[in-house]
Chain A
């Protein structure tokens, strides 16, 4: 996750970044926010549409209960107070917005005042997480691909009315790594609660970054720019660093940035200006008269809290405690959803270091049919030297694929620890057959060590323990 080459020494001494993020999350509902059309990515254009999501005259919105529930679940997962929410209209003209207003929440959002705790312990405030509808998608033909000089615009309304929650952080992040950690943490929360599939590349999680800079030690908020079109965590880091450097350059040259929206240009590695504040629209927000307030009952909120799954921060803490490692070393296990398995395996007597090693190195595809009991038994066989590490990997793969008992699987595969005498003989024969390579090993060329281990693995069909082969080679070399 960290991309340290880009975040070290980004700004000259004496400057710091002020970063706030607005993350649009598509909710994983079956249908859209205000109608019964399918909420599905990638279908033929204009196939998931009806009078309501096309904004036809006379059509009316009816809130999707599942979407409202998901939004409240997310709010509680972010530690927000879930309040009566009021839908408002944000009025502006755009061809992919069928009603020429967006139904969103303005003064009274459903979720307010939460926080996200990053793996390093920093707490980033969430100002609000409000519900709104998505727009359609425009493709501008001719000109520069922008609406102003396009000769024609094609619009796909499949996405119009898809439910979103916009999660707005405080301006509390101080470097790109923190911003990326924040987005990664939010993604993990979304996946843990199941309210979104959180795929940045498909646009089901879209990040806009508000960036400004200031002298270290100051608490002022200088002019910010909002960067859009960020499609990955890597782009987020690059875009923030580029923009912050641009701001410092302006300030140090007796100039200053304009408050504006900017687009991240992935290929060019830079941001380019979009709409500036001077032509910013007056959105004329007012409460949407077609939609009554969303008033959650105390029972609803209690029910959400009761059925809340374990969230990433709690899971990290639990695994770190069980495995005796720092929280930073638990991230891969959490991302793979293997923290539960790891904790249970350790509780069942599996060696924590070995368990964490296999989780990080050998279980990229997930748990499959592997159980904590069989995992613990396998780790014990490995510790006892009953299986070589190559054999352990093979048995582990079989346990993931089909389940079973590790001892029985090892036996059926003909795995048993080879005795040292057998390996001694094989090694002597190899040395005899490959005198040049052995000579190089004796001269201290450690690279050929792998050659001998490989040949022995081949001859024993992986039954040999590489570590023992290494030992035997060193014994011979030392004479």
Chain B
């Protein structure tokens, strides 16, 4: 296991401060990032495409602003990687699918505009499981991404490329999307911080939909502080997204170090038992102890419906996906495989363009929504979703935050989980937050028996990101001072 992180690319906050102070430049930061990528990414394969031209132009613009004495923004000169399911104007955006090969969106996702306005430099687009469907980044039409900490292992998924890009030290920040754990699980497996914000806190405009009621964009970072900094930049109302929360959001950065004195934290009983590796369970218990040591009031809490989360998720997410992915029909963009008539062309295009896991979920979702089966499958899954929300609400009457493992295990080897069900199990701890729309994040907390990182998950109620980040900061401090030894 190597620790290849370039020191200058470890902290977005410090890098931006140095750039803003004129001690470093955006151009230098970009050059350092490019050098590490060139050195390492042939092996890791975090990136699908680099946006060199745009990145250089952005870096020049930031440096010009600073030279002119203007405010270059809180992320001035910070290189950032973007999961390749976020639209970038004029640059390839593939969702790791052959069906979108060659398509260049005519517009930027809202988060891209916000990052650019904050001075960030878009380095490139990262690998993912095709259309964000997977937990290992092995389901990419363009080949898997490897875990930079141990390249025989997966980085997790579906945002494995973005997690690996940070873990490998290419960039201090990256964006992923989380539908059932696709930010938090790879963050845990790559030993970085990963945040799934409250549904509606970050605009989905320009995020290519997998399951619209669950998808949410969030940051990866080495530190809780960087994650908070990035969240504050990308969050907030967007009139282009009707599900975006209209009220102003409280910033997380100002009170990040307020601690957890008197904060009530509940360990979710159902996520500490069978199916969770003992070393992961032990780290989670140690994390709870660290919070208690910092003044939190820690207890266990039962949220029984969480065990049905996985089943409900694998009906709701595929159902939405079956509709969201219908538009890839060969008519307007992306790949087209001709046929004798339009219907045959549609079929040929989709048969050739989608990978097996995508097809599996489209079929699953189509079935779940079919007339005669809707009530038994999709309808019942929606009722489970409501039940989970209600149970979380009940838990939050007695607790301010909840705690659980992020992933049942540390990073596994490529090819180890070849049957879909065992891969689906990777998301058992993370899915409930997506179903409820609540924020949750993964923080590295020590290593497992195999020496690979373990992540613990901090969960909060709607819009309680500030408190969630405060607890995560306490855990980061505890891990750094030997609390996870």
Contact = CB atoms under 8 A, between A and B. Distances in A.
Interface centre among A62, A148, A153, A286 (most CB of B within 10 A): A286
Contacts of B378: 286
B191 to A, nearest CB: 30
Contact of B320 (A59, A93, A95, A289): A289
B240 A60 contact: yes
Nearest to B131: A57
A58 B341 contact: no
B208 interface: yes
A88 B212 CA distance: 13
Given A99-B327, A150-B342, A60 B369 contact: no
Contacts of A93: 326, 329, 343, 346
A62 B240 contact: yes
A60 B342 contact: no
B327 A57 contact: yes
A93 B333 CA distance: 15
A308 to B, nearest CB: 28
Contacts of B211: 289
Interface stretch (A22-30, A48-56, A234-242, A406-414): A48-56
A51 B109 contact: no
B342 A100 contact: no
B302 interface: no
A54 B103 CA distance: 14
A13 interface: no
A284 B322 CA distance: 10
Given A58-B105, A284-B366, A290 B327 contact: no
A101 interface: yes
Interface stretch (B3-11, B50-58, B199-207): B199-207
B342 A51 contact: no
For the complex, would chain B's binding face be called helix, strand, loop or mixed by DSSP majority? loop
B477 interface: no
Nearest to A155: B331
A54 B333 CA distance: 10
A51 B107 contact: yes
Nearest to A152: B342
A55 B208 CA distance: 11
A91 interface: yes
A89 B205 CA distance: 19
A284 B372 CA distance: 10
B342 A290 contact: no
B387 to A, nearest CB: 18
Interface in A275-310: 282, 284-286, 289-292
B333 A56 contact: yes
Contact of A284 (B109, B242, B323, B331): B323
A194 interface: no
A100 B326 contact: yes
A89 B323 contact: yes
A55 B327 contact: yes
B478 interface: no
Contacts, number: 106
Interface centre among A51, A284, A285 (most CB of B within 10 A): A284
Interface centre among A54, A93, A148, A153 (most CB of B within 10 A): A93
Given A282-B370, A284-B366, A286-B378, A51 B207 contact: no
Given A58-B208, A60-B241, A284 B341 contact: no
Interface residues of B, number: 45
Interface centre among B93, B206, B326, B369 (most CB of A within 10 A): B326
A258 B178 CA distance: 48
Interface in B323-344: 323, 326-327, 329, 331-333, 341-343
A286 B371 CA distance: 11
A313 interface: no
B370 A61 contact: no
Interface string B90-106: 00010100001001011
Nearest to A290: B212
B162 to A, nearest CB: 17
B213 interface: yes
A428 B479 CA distance: 124
Contacts of A59: 205-206
A63 interface: yes
B242 A291 contact: yes
Interface residues of A, number: 33
A91 B252 CA distance: 41
A289 B205 CA distance: 13
B16 interface: no
B358 interface: no
B319 A286 contact: yes
A434 B329 CA distance: 82
Nearest to A94: B342
A98 interface: yes
Nearest to B346: A93
B241 A284 contact: no
A147 interface: yes
A284 B207 contact: no
Contact of A63 (B85, B242, B370): B242
Contacts of B93: 57-58
Contacts of B366: 284
A282 B333 CA distance: 26
Interface string B189-229: 00000000000000011111101110000000000000000
Contacts of A285: 369
Contact of B242 (A89, A100, A286, A292): A292
Contacts of B242: 60-63, 290-292
Given A93-B329, A153-B342, A101 B87 contact: no
A234 B211 CA distance: 47
B370 A290 contact: no
Contacts of A100: 326-327, 329
B443 interface: no
A149 interface: yes
Nearest to B324: A99
Contacts of B240: 60, 62
Given A54-B332, A93-B346, A101 B207 contact: no
Nearest to B214: A289
B323 A91 contact: yes
Interface centre among A60, A147, A149 (most CB of B within 10 A): A60
Contact of B206 (A58, A148, A153, A289): A58
A56 B106 contact: yes
B86 interface: yes
A59 to B, nearest CB: 7
B369 A57 contact: no
A265 to B, nearest CB: 23
Contacts of A282: 370-371
A58 B323 contact: no
Contacts of B342: 95, 147, 150, 153
Interface centre among A57, A89, A99 (most CB of B within 10 A): A57
Contacts of B371: 282, 284
B243 interface: yes
Contacts of B390: none
Contacts of A148: 341, 343
Contacts of A147: 341-342
Interface in A86-133: 89, 91, 93, 95, 98-101
A57 B371 CA distance: 27
Interface centre among B86, B93, B103, B332 (most CB of A within 10 A): B332
21 contacts: A55-B332, A57-B100, A57-B103, A58-B85, A58-B86, A58-B93, A58-B207, A60-B205, A60-B242, A61-B242, A91-B322, A91-B323, A93-B329, A95-B331, A95-B342, A153-B342, A155-B331, A282-B371, A284-B323, A286-B323, A290-B243
Given A58-B107, A91-B322, A100-B329, 20 more contacts: A56-B87, A56-B105, A56-B106, A57-B87, A57-B105, A57-B333, A58-B87, A58-B207, A62-B242, A93-B346, A95-B342, A100-B326, A282-B371, A284-B371, A286-B320, A286-B323, A286-B369, A290-B212, A290-B242, A290-B243
User: 10 closest pairs, A vs B, by CB?
Assistant: A100-B326, A289-B213, A284-B369, A289-B212, A58-B87, A57-B208, A58-B206, A58-B208, A95-B331, A282-B371
